Amino acid sequence: MEKSLAQLKPGDSAKLVDIAKNPALHFKLLSLGLLPGDTIKVISCAPFGGPISVRHGGGNAFAIRKNEAELITIKTEETEKS
């Protein structure tokens, strides 16, 4: 079962599987240093569908729009077991 980054809650961690089917978003995330296989952690989620703050790598953090986060496929420990 595939999950998107938008489905995670603050404090959740996951491995990035696929960045996006949208080339512009793909290159935007690559420029931020986010690569498939990286572990990412959700720091916070703004209310009412606002941005999601994410940390990855050596503490690098950024915010991403919820509609963009829905295009990012992730794998959590739960999905790895099933």
Residues 60-82: pLDDT tens digits? 899 999 999 999 999 987 655 55
Please report where in the chains the tokens 């572990």 appear, as a residue. 39
Residue-wise pLDDT for 28-55, tens only, equals 888 888 888 889 999 999 998 899 999 9
- Bridge partners (DSSP) of residue 15 are 39, 75
Whole-structure pTM value: 0.83
69, 41 in Cβ contact below 8 A? Answer: no
Q: Return the SS3 of 67.
A: helix
6, 68 in Cβ contact below 8 A? Answer: no
Q: What is the pLDDT of residue 81?
A: 58
Nearest to 5 by CA among 61, 47, 51: 51
Query: Residue 36 has which token pair?
Result: 């498939």
